[in-house]
Chains A and B, each alone.
Chain A
Amino acid sequence: MTSSETPRAEADQVTGTARVKRGMAEMLKGGVIMDVVTPDQAKIAEDAGAVAVMALERVPADIRVQGGVARMSDPDMIEGIIGAVSIPVMAKARIGHFVEAQVLQSLGVDYIDESEVLTPADEDNHIDKWPYTVPFVCGATNLGEALRRIAEGAAMIRSKGEAGTGNVVEATRHMRQIRADIRRLTVLDEAELFAAAKELRAPYELVKEVAQAGKLPVVLFTAGGIATPADAAMMMQLGAEGVFVGSGIFKSGEPAKRAEAIVKATTFHDDPDVIAKVSRNLGEAIVGINVSELPETQRLATRGW
């Protein structure tokens, strides 16, 4: 099942196709993917109705506090989480670190997040994601960035937000930006699309595809600072097709309760009565950081390009 195998005859089974990779993300829609650092947390997430878990060594809030180089997690720890739950398990590789990605594929993770939350390993190139059988999700702050990642083979896009802050303001900015960029493309004429592609620094073919469809060719989730059921619902109303919650759950007072409430609010994102009901008595939320007070060097969303 390695990517180096040659294409097979029609009757044969073919793995690792764009349809299979992108299709996997379609199955996660309307769901919540939760950061977990132990098998026990993974079980809590699965019990709460998570559609997948993201296995990592430290949640972004701790990476912020502790500093240093943040890398792919210990394979033992990832395997422990794979063994603990029956839902899909994702894991993070550093931007551009194609060997971490090879290792994660060999461990059998279901999705790789090439993530700005970890310290980038290459300041010029992201991973060439096409040769892998495992699909990739990548962060983006605007449409151009999203399309560059898709051109490199990303099968799913998420907003970057500002991870580990418990502050949704940057995720809001990125979701609005991506959606506004898409809307703008849909009213351009054929000739203007060439200029738009240049402006977006994205392949013309992808720009044209988005202009025609009015949406990305892959699933769009939100991530970065989601801390409450209302945060998740707002992102869904802004056009996200699902939600990643990082530090927001296990850095809160009652993780199991909050996790379940965010799952419910994501499904009923357009029903304020349900959101009101699930938002009661969730205990302490993650304390949070005002992003405007964060120095530029501590902002994760500026990693990647």
Chain B
Amino acid sequence: MATAQPVIGVLALQGDVREHLLTLAECDVLARPVRRPEELAEVDGIVIPGGESTTMSRLLEVFELLDPLRQRLAEGLPAYGSCAGMIMLASKVLDGRPDQHPLGAVDMTVRRNAFGRQVDSFEADLDFTGVGQLHAVFIRAPWVESAGAGVEVLATVPESASAGDAAGRIVAVRQGSVLATAFHPELTGDGRVHRLFTEMVRRA
């Protein structure tokens, strides 16, 4: 155990970096913030946190992290994105900004702010394949509009009186060693999604 602790980076340009670092710290990995290309080069997996995807996308570019990150993802670097992180890992973004840079790590089209504005942000229980039932927090969250054949759907919005048209929408996916959720497991103190990711890193 002491020898093979993987290093997991959390992209620390903006967002709830601290909550991801704290959750990862419970998963028997070395978790550290990543803001520079040389820090990115040292990680065995990367987490893209919740935050503003437009801000993060812009900062990735100006701080010359965009190309190195694309490169490492193309080489198979395991990645997990929550909310804004899911948007960034997508191959296509709807309702985003024209200068947003999708990283294309998951073959999916994601709709930004799909559930509405902050007054529509919500909590709900859902079934997460491989994890079980969990309590999910959605904040100005995206959903997956469509996913490619190679993408495994791990969770959808459950049917309920309040879900309305959103019922059945895809909110968690996996493609190879890349995981993405529209919600924020890092806010609930439930480390199961992060453990799933760190296991993916160990096996990669």
Contact = CB atoms under 8 A, between A and B. Distances in A.
Interface of A: 1, 8-17, 19-20, 23-24, 26-31, 46, 49-52, 86-88, 105, 108-111, 133-135, 260, 263-264, 267-268
Interface string B143-164: 0000000000000001011110
A263 B55 contact: yes
7 contacts: A8-B161, A15-B120, A24-B140, A30-B14, A86-B96, A86-B112, A87-B52
B6 interface: no
Given A11-B125, A13-B162, A31-B14, A108 B139 contact: no
B117 A108 contact: yes
A264 B161 CA distance: 44
A30 B15 contact: yes
Given A15-B121, A267-B13, A28 B187 contact: no
Given A8-B162, A12-B161, A86-B96, A26 B187 contact: yes
A24 B35 CA distance: 22
A254 to B, nearest CB: 17
Interface stretch (B16-24, B39-47, B192-200): B16-24
B83 interface: yes
Interface of B: 12-19, 35, 50-52, 54-55, 58-59, 62-63, 83-84, 95-97, 112-113, 117-125, 137-140, 158, 160-163, 184, 187-188
Which residue, B55, B112, B158, has most C-beta atoms of chain A within 10 A?
A: B55
Contacts of A50: 55
B139 A23 contact: yes
Q: B-side binding surface: helix, strand, loop or mixed?
A: loop
Contacts of A17: 122-123
A43 B55 CA distance: 13
Contact of B140 (A14, A88, A260): A88
Nearest to B99: A47
Nearest to B56: A49
Contacts of A86: 54, 95-97, 112-113
Contacts of A110: 117-119, 140
Contact of A264 (B59, B83, B96): B59
Which residue, A10, A11, A17, A133, has most C-beta atoms of chain B within 10 A?
A: A11
Contacts of B119: 1, 15-16, 105, 108, 110, 133-134
Contacts of A24: 118, 121, 139-140
A31 B51 contact: yes
A109 B139 CA distance: 14
Contacts of A111: 118
Contacts, number: 138
Which residue, A8, A19, A50, has most C-beta atoms of chain B within 10 A?
A: A19
A105 B35 CA distance: 36
Contacts of A12: 124, 160-163
Which residue, B95, B123, B187, has most C-beta atoms of chain A within 10 A?
A: B123
A75 to B, nearest CB: 15
Contact of A27 (B50, B63, B95, B122): B50
A302 to B, nearest CB: 30
B84 to A, nearest CB: 7
A46 B113 CA distance: 16
Contacts of B83: 27
A13 B123 contact: yes
Nearest to A90: B118
A110 B118 CA distance: 5
A186 B134 CA distance: 33
B125 A135 contact: no
A50 B97 CA distance: 13
Contacts of B96: 86
Contacts of A46: 54, 97
B118 A88 contact: yes
B102 to A, nearest CB: 15
Contact of A13 (B84, B124, B139, B187): B124
Contacts of A264: 59, 62-63
A264 B13 CA distance: 9
User: What are the nearest 4 A-B pairs in CB distance?
Assistant: A110-B118, A13-B122, A30-B14, A26-B16
B124 to A, nearest CB: 4
